[in-house]
Amino acid sequence: MSVHSAFKKVTTHSLQQMKKQQEKISMLTAYDYSFAKLFDESGIDVILVGDSAANVMAGHETTLPITLDQMIYHGQSVVRAVKRALVVVDLPFGSYQSNSSLALASAIRIMKETGAHAVKLEGGEEVLESINAIVKAGIPVMGHLGLTPQSIYQFGSYTVRAKDEDEANALKKNIQLLQDAGCFAVVLEKIPAALAKEVTESISIPTIGIGAGKYCDGQVLVMHDMLGINTEFKPRFLRQYLQLHEQITNAVQQYISDVKENQFPSDKESY
């Protein structure tokens, strides 16, 4: 039996045990009750209520506009569905960067009002005080390094991060700081696979990659991307497991045609 199937409920400790026993961690985003229930029943280890909800649920160009209240709404919907997976909710832009008291208050709201098991936030040294305050309050924190979408206007583009030595060295230092501060895992987004391998081997907490190669301790994808609901977003790292855009379009067009031609409902579908 794999380690993960032995867990009735996945906890932050389960993830660390999985790293030790070299069992990969599976993580997907979800933002609502129905998909969270499907993913949990399918056996996913971690569900991330990502601030990518700003993009895929609300249609914003970046993750910056989503609010703490909106993240809490998505978190509540997901938590209601989940029996086994670890649920992590993103702290949105502006809810933790300015000072550690605000960060702690935001994290406490997420934990109290959603029933989630952990929070995630982006950044290294610059948000260390916030991480310290949240961890000290007993709230598990997942870090996020590499391409951090809340800093997109600083980066200027969504290209691969930490390709040059300075940025790679900064990432190596930051991941150590996150581990020392008590983070239970770290997302590594869009960095070279060799760097992800090196830092994964250098720390005892799990790394979860997205566009960071196969040596991370786990992988995460945004559900709309992996299910093929979006057609415009096709980065190299993305594997589409379904083409739902095409299948849903066909189904809706068939429905429209059935309604127009009075083929739906039939006598059997009527009372």
Catalytic machinery residues: 189
| One character per residue 165-204, x = contact with ligand KIV (rule: CB under 6 A) | ----------------------x-----------------
Contact status: 23 vs ligand KIV (CB under 6 A): no
14 or 52: CB nearest ligand KIV: 52
Contact status: 78 vs ligand KIV (CB under 6 A): no
The only residue of 40, 51, 217, 225 in contact with ligand KIV, by rule CB under 6 A:
51
Distance of CA 47 to the CA centre of its chain: 7
Binding range to ligand KIV, per CB under 6 A, among 45-53, 68-76, 129-137, 164-172: 45-53
Binding range to ligand KIV, per CB under 6 A, among 48-56, 169-177, 195-203, 230-238: 48-56
Give me the least distance between CB of 27 and ligand KIV, in Å please. Answer: 8
Closest residue to ligand KIV, Cβ-based? Answer: 50
| One character per residue 124-163, x = contact with ligand KIV (rule: CB under 6 A) | ----------------------------------------
Q: Are 216 and 208 in contact (CB under 8 A)?
A: yes
Chain residues 204-263 in contact with ligand KIV, contact rule CB under 6 A: 210, 220, 222
Give me the least distance between CB of 50 and ligand KIV, in Å please. Answer: 2
Binding range to ligand KIV, per CB under 6 A, among 3-11, 49-57, 125-133, 162-170: 49-57
Sequential DSSP letters for the chain: --TGGG-SS--HHHHHHHHHTTPPEEEEE--SHHHHHHHHHHT-SEEEE-TTHHHHTT--SSSTT--HHHHHHHHHHHHTT-SSSEEEEEPPTTSSSS-HHHHHHHHHHHHHHH--SEEE---SGGGHHHHHHHHHTT--EEEEEES-GGGHHHH-S-PPP--SHHHHHHHHHHHHHHHHHT-SEEEEES--HHHHHHHHHH-SS-EEEESS-TTSSEEEE-HHHHTT--SS---TT---S--HHHHHHHHHHHHHHHHHTT-SS-STT--
Q: Using CB under 6 A as the criterion, which residues of the chain lie in contact with ligand KIV when the complex forms?
A: 29, 48, 50-52, 90, 187, 210, 220, 222
